[in-house]
Structure 1
Amino acid sequence: MGEHLARDIGWVLAAVVLLAVLLFGLMSLRRWLLELGGGTVECSLRDLQDANVWRLGIGRYQGDELQWHSVFGFRRRPRKVIHRRGLVVVNRRDPEGEETAALAADALIIEVKNGELSVELAMSPAALTGFLAWLESSPPGWPVDLPSGP
């Protein structure tokens, strides 16, 4: 009886490990597919209207949109879409308090608004420079509002 129980537990543990490896593999494949076309950047997001929790993700530039995908997920569609037209950068700051543990060591935070959308994005200085360049390169006649200095 004990021998059969040990074997059954072994099969269950093997199945759990195999499932974990499979899930990790699927998330890695999804990330690779997102990054395949280029124009991606690691970017954490905090929705100021919902929970105040930082979520790790990947931002993908697609024309006049920044599509944000969660790292820990399987959806092919973005969780947030930030449109360049009418986007306003409200604030730029360094991480404070508990944020320093939740974000990358060199992360900078910007708060952006576009109509009802109000989020904070945390990204590396190089990624932030790219984001601001993307924002400033909008077509003529599109309003762009950027804060001056850090």
Structure 2
Amino acid sequence: MPWQFIVTTVVIVALILLPFALLYLRRRWLTGQGGLFDCAHRVRDDTPGHGWALGVARYRGENLEWFRSFSLGLTPKLVLQRAGTTYVHQRKPEGLEAIALFADSIIVTVKDRVTGHLHTLAMSRDEVLALMSWLESAPPGSHYLPGSADSPR
């Protein structure tokens, strides 16, 4: 076998494996930052049961940061601030959602009170309880937004 064939084969195999190695290293880096858990986010609401993106999330100070699983980006794709986020409701996955999401997921809807946008997240039951506790444990008065109808007069 000529040496050029061996070198070409090694380069091709390395290029094929490189994205998987980078995804693994990214996940390890994010895990090393602390408190990472599986969390899917519904990025499109146009079709019932569709539009889910698998990801991971973590609590970072007063924020919940969400990262796509199959991305090489090191910055979160979604950041929810505790003071500006309220719990709306939760439900079990229906139809295709039960197949597309993580096993035993609960779907939670939260509202960004600054923009008014509803965010739909899917996570384990334990993580739902952690999210609700995190939202409820905000410091007193922090849920009042300046200039909002909720603000005390």
Query: Once the two structures are aligned, what percentage of the paired residues are identical?
Result: 37
The residue that corresponds to 2:24 in the other structure is 28
Normalising by structure 1, we get a TM-score of: 0.80
1:89 and 2:87 aligned: yes
Q: Give yes or no for contact 1:110–1:121 (8 Å, CA) kept in 2.
A: yes
Which residue of the other structure, out of 110, 113, 122, is the alignment partner of 2:111? Answer: 113
Residues of 1 paired with 2:46 and 2:11: CA distance?
36
Which sections of structure 2, spanning at least 5 residues, go unmatched? Answer: 145-153
Deviation readout 1:43-77 (Å, 9 max, x if unpaired): 00013568851111110111110111111111111
Equivalent pairs, count: 139
Q: Secondary structure at the match of 1:34?
A: helix
What code does the residue aligned with 1:97 have?
A: G
The residue that corresponds to 1:128 in the other structure is 128
Q: Give yes or no for contact 1:69–1:78 (8 Å, CA) kept in 2.
A: yes
Q: Give yes or no for contact 1:95–1:109 (8 Å, CA) kept in 2.
A: yes
Residues of 2 paired with 1:104 and 1:75: CA distance?
22
What code does the residue aligned with 1:141 have?
A: G
1:40 and 2:36 aligned: yes
Normalising by structure 2, we get a TM-score of: 0.79
What code does the residue aligned with 1:118 have?
A: L
What code does the residue aligned with 2:15 have?
A: L
Once the 2 structures are TM-superposed, how far is the Cα of residue 108 of structure 1 from its aligned partner?
A: 0.1
Once the 2 structures are TM-superposed, how far is the Cα of residue 142 of structure 1 from its aligned partner?
A: 2.6
Residues of 2 paired with 1:71 and 1:90: CA distance?
25
Q: Which has the higher mean CA deviation after the structures are superposed, 111-120 or 20-29?
A: 111-120
